[in-house]
Amino acid sequence: MSLKKFIQAETERLGFTLSGAARVEPPLHLSTYEQWIDSGLHAGMGYLATERAMERRANPAVIQPEARSLLVVALPYHSPASIPDSQANEAAGRVAAYAWGDDYHDIIPPRLQELGEALEKHLGRAIRQRPYTDTGPILERDFAQTAGLGWIGKNTCLISPRHGSYFLLGETFVDVEIEPDDPLTTDHCGTCTRCIEACPTGCIRPDRTIDSSRCISYLTIENKGEIPTELREKTGDWVFGCDICQMVCPWNLRFAKPEGDPALAPRPGIPRPVLREELRLTPQEFNRKFKGSPIQRARRRGYLRNVAVALGNQQDTSTVHDLAETLLNEPEPLVRAHAAWALGRINTLLARQTLEKALRQEPDPQVANEIRSALG
């Protein structure tokens, strides 16, 4: 069996639906990334712009000098269509589909390590490899396109003409000369602008970049502070991430399979969480429920902040008691502030009475300002 066919067979055995090889050389769209950083569109993700990170993204050979090839793989996850809205509870939130199951950071690297071990047996020698998945300074989508897995769409997602975009990328440097695959250079988005038009916050720019400061995924995950007031209503019921630009993509509507890798199968209560129950999660309960889940990245304070905003957007009067309890007794000021905003949105008599009571006892000046705004 040729080396290329062996790698394809092994990646399929390990659950990767797409795979390809690229040379270890500067990425094609490096200048686009550098301009994106220079424009400040990475928002609060300062780790993307450090000197070390920029150097390694510009020249991936620095990461592993002995590497001769970069293998890129794609692991499919369940699509949002696999859980219809009809199954959602009345006061339920939404979680991005990639985060429904176990954390992919715990799944992809071990499988890439196993791929390397199989490659060692096939070649009859030890190899040097270094696996990544969204964990190192590599322009993953750029190399995935170079390796022929898909093209970078207008929503900045990598889109496969055979599978859509519901998959996670991984890559591993290897000190093995592997014939590179042909890059996918055709833009199959054409004149379609569905993702741009569907984005509630207008974060998708015409040059195929994202204004992170307006992206719901950034606002609910990477953003560690308050969600800007003018964007809260636009986040809808998303409490971790967002799938809107993928849900409207014709390539997903036509070709994406509902079921993904079993390791990413939905955990009970995560795809459509009951918001009033989430709001009551103690630190211990949060850690227990989301152990080994990507949702841990938002931390409890960020997740409950998102839950409060979603409740405010739903304006369900039956949740006023839950939000009132949070505003009066929650130890995290960030959560109290967004609970106050939510109560102001619902604006029942009990909501106003709670806001007035909270204002008299609130020690944090920023939270007190939120309460005043809610009362106003």
Q: Which residues pair with 72 in a beta bridge?
A: 20, 171
Q: Which one from 38, 106, 134, 187 is the annotated catalytic residue?
A: 134
Rounded Cα–Cα distance for residues 160 and 256 (Å): 9
The helix/strand/coil state of 172 is strand
Helices in the chain by DSSP H: which ranges? 3-13, 30-38, 51-58, 108-123, 140-146, 194-198, 216-217, 229-232, 244-247, 250-255, 275-278, 283-289, 299-314, 320-329, 333-346, 349-361, 365-375
**122 to 2, 37, 306, 364: CA distances (angstroms):** 10, 42, 49, 63
SS3 string, 308-332, reads: HHHHHHHCCHHHHHHHHHHHHHCCC
- Count CB atoms within 10 A of the CB of residue 3: 15
Is 316 in the active site? no
CB 1 within 8 A of CB 9: yes
343: CB partners within 8 A, 6+ apart: 312, 320, 323, 324, 327, 351, 352, 354, 355, 374
Q: Which residues contact 246 (CB under 8 A, 6 or more apart)?
A: 80, 155, 157, 164, 165, 166, 195, 252
Reported residue count of the chain is 376
For residue 302 the two structure tokens come to 């960020």
**Amino acid found at 120:** E
Enzyme catalytic residues: 134
